[in-house]
A and B are shown apart, each in its own frame.
Chain A
Amino acid sequence: GAGVSQTPSNKVTEKGKYVELRCDPISGHTALYWYRQSLGQGPEFLIYFQGTGAADDSGLPNDRFFAVRPEGSVSTLKIQRTERGDSAVYLCASSRRGGYQETQYFGPGTRLLVL
């Protein structure tokens, strides 16, 4: 079946602009995670959704970052007033219910470059 998809695959923007990154999880998966992977680093957790609600947003670096999942399926990560330090690969993952030991399935990522 179809895996997790993310659009766009690449995004180039200018410092100060607003960007939206989209994640389409595996159908039926209620749990959705966003991670950010900077160059030479492992992925770092940003936010976790269970259904429509953000159950854990402790990884968001500041209030310029925001994410929504209004219908409990597709999620959008929104970054305001982008900075060069926001350049990274943004990964989305989903799992069936978000429970203990569940496998997280990752999307291909969106590579964001802020000039």
Chain B
Amino acid sequence: AQRVTQPEKLLSVFKGAPVELKCNYSYSGSPELFWYVQYSRQRLQLLLRHISRESIKGFTADLNKGETSFHLKKPFAQEEDSAMYYCALSPAYSGAGSYQLTFGKGTKLSVIP
């Protein structure tokens, strides 16, 4: 069975400090990994996906297959980064054609001014 674990429920950092939101997964295969973000009073939205290898709003995430991790990092936190962050995976192949997402429980990031 696939599972996504986000060990921290809440992470508080000072503005300008580095941020690392942890995500570990278990999956028998090669999944697709995503980070979704939900800002206050907004809907859930995609932040980045591992396949794109892009940096969005200064965030990056590297897939480490050996450690089955996909941690989200940003070198200098900003107040506007305060939000709920969810790590998610979907299968790389689905016989049923369903690429539904399996989410972690989320980490609330609070950036202190």
Residues of A participating in the B interface, judged by any CB pair closer than 8 Å: 3-4, 33, 35, 40-45, 48, 50, 55-56, 59, 91, 98-109
Contact = CB atoms under 8 A, between A and B. Distances in A.
Contacts of A44: 103
A42 B104 contact: yes
Interface string B72-104: 000000000000001010001110111111111
Interface of B: 4, 32, 43-46, 49, 51, 86, 88, 92-94, 96-106
Looking at A33, A35, A42, A105, the one whose CB has the most chain B CB atoms below 10 A away is A42
10 contacts: A43-B103, A45-B101, A56-B100, A98-B97, A100-B92, A100-B93, A101-B32, A102-B99, A106-B45, A109-B43
Given A3-B43, A104-B46, A42 B88 contact: yes
Nearest to A103: B46
